[in-house]
Amino acid sequence: MSAKRKEKPLITSRGKGLAGMSTLMFLVGSFIGQTFVVQSGIFGFLVLIVCYWLAKINLKNIQFIRKMPSAVFSGVDFDYQVEMVNYRKWLGSRNVMIYDHYLPFGEKGFAVDAIGSGRRFVEVFKSRIIERGISNGRGYRIASDFPLGLFEVSKRRRGNENVLVYPRPMLTRKLETAVLGYGQSESSFPGAGNRDGEICGVREFQKGDKVNQIIWASYAKTGKFIVRDYDFPVSEKLSIIFHSYCPSGKLIWPEVFEHSMSLIAGLLMVCRERGIPFEICGPFTGWRNVECKSPSKIEKFLEFLSYAKHEPESSIEKISEILTQMKGSHPVFLVSETDVKLWANQLPNMPRVIHCVDNKALKSRHPDLKLIKRVA
């Protein structure tokens, strides 16, 4: 019943003014016997009645449709589509205001001048969601004060869209260098501005490329800056383990945990771009090693990070057990929101490279040569 009451036209201050003036004219005209004044008051009431009826049907059979992406990255702009459909066979809708909670900050709403009968209005807007996890459908409101601003009718609804919000990928240069397995990286993403690999083709000039990579003969012919593209050596496989080992008495802020999720998301994105198979393990996987043989399909693993919650560990024995049981000699990225100084030295010696990562530092532990000989 409350929803229906909200959709009834409510008289505005302008409408109240007209109602008061019409009442006054009717009473005064009747008292002094002026027919014209009485008729003017009656005319004012007729205007109110007609405007009430028009306001009531102006938003009738109007449907608001919001098309959202199924998944987005936290803090990254995305496009979403707003569609309004007028299903009436006659009489269009005018002066419609839409107040959508997905609109960018600072934009309270947008106006649609007219939607003809049987027609639709479509517009694309940009938005962003900050909080990681599931973003339940945000509410919206459709309002109109057509025709003369004497009445306003409003419809409030809650959206039924569920958007999965991945952590925003972040990657430091040191961490990227460790993933790619070659010298110093000069770009925030692999493939640009370096000459440490073999030539695999040519492409157009991008920001971060060196000038000496430009093929000047090609520029003389085409007038475009073409550079040599290089391929780089990468690891055959990666293991990513996240833990929240925290000695007693240490306080972990929620922002620090979110930053760790962003670092892991950055590792996954590099694996996808470079085609590196990986496996991931942590409390969000039930401490199971979940392998990704097709790096192009990482949505499932980003979903793990979206639902991840901070679960502090009181000991590092579980991490040590996982490292000990791990097969192969591929590198391991051990990510935590706690300082590496608190736990890196407690790890067992392994015949592999272990990159200990926190939100500020990267400490690489190289394999023990004696263990490598023993395994061989």
**150 is a domain residue:** yes
Q: Is the pLDDT of residue 362 over 60?
A: yes
Same domain, 254 and 356: yes
Q: pLDDT category, 23, cuts 50, 70, 90?
A: very high
Q: Is the pLDDT of residue 257 over 60?
A: yes
Same domain, 243 and 336: yes
Average pLDDT over residues 189-202: 47
Average pLDDT over residues 120-128: 89
Average pLDDT over residues 216-228: 74
Q: pLDDT category, 181, cuts 50, 70, 90?
A: low
pTM of the entire structure? Answer: 0.70
Same domain, 341 and 257: yes
Q: What is the pLDDT of residue 51?
A: 93
Determine the Cα–Cα distance for residues 356 and 347; give it in Å rounded to an integer.
10
Residue 230: which of 206, 205, 207, 196 has the closest Cα? Answer: 196
Q: pLDDT category, 18, cuts 50, 70, 90?
A: very high
Q: What is the pLDDT of residue 192?
A: 36
- Long-range contacts: 245-252, Cβ < 8 Å, 24+? 245/312, 245/313, 245/314, 245/315, 245/316, 245/319, 245/336, 245/338, 245/342, 245/343, 246/312, 246/313, 246/314, 246/338, 246/342, 247/342, 248/314, 250/338, 250/342, 252/310, 252/312, 252/337, 252/338
Q: What is the pLDDT of residue 265?
A: 93
Residue 52: which of 8, 109, 17 has the closest Cα? Answer: 8
Same domain, 243 and 371: yes
As a whole number of Å, the end-to-end CA separation of the chain is 77
Q: What is the pLDDT of residue 373?
A: 38
Q: Is the pLDDT of residue 43 over 60?
A: yes
Same domain, 253 and 219: no
Same domain, 219 and 243: no
Q: What is the pLDDT of residue 194?
A: 42
Same domain, 254 and 301: yes
Same domain, 149 and 216: no
**178 is a domain residue:** no
**284 is a domain residue:** yes
In this prediction, what percent of the chain has a pLDDT beyond 70? 81
Handedness of CA 300, 280, 316, 255 (dihedral sign): negative
CATH for 88: 2.60.40.10
Q: Is the pLDDT of residue 312 over 80?
A: no
**242 is a domain residue:** yes
Q: What is the pLDDT of residue 88?
A: 86
Number of domains in the chain: 4
Same domain, 29 and 92: no
Q: pLDDT category, 365, cuts 50, 70, 90?
A: low
Average pLDDT over residues 191-208: 56
Same domain, 99 and 135: yes
Q: Is the pLDDT of residue 70 over 50?
A: yes
Parent domain of 113: 62-166
Q: What is the pLDDT of residue 200?
A: 59
Residue 350: which of 363, 335, 342, 330 has the closest Cα? Answer: 330
Same domain, 222 and 143: no
Same domain, 336 and 256: yes
Q: What is the pLDDT of residue 135?
A: 87
**183 is a domain residue:** no
**200 is a domain residue:** yes
Q: Using one digit for the tens of pLDDT, what is the confidence trace for 282-298? A: 888 888 889 988 877 89
Q: What is the pLDDT of residue 250?
A: 64
Q: Is the pLDDT of residue 367 over 70?
A: no
**172 is a domain residue:** no
**10 is a domain residue:** yes
Average pLDDT over residues 119-125: 89
Average pLDDT over residues 68-94: 89
Using DSSP's 3-state secondary structure scheme, residue 313 falls into strand
Mean pLDDT, rounded, of the chain? 80
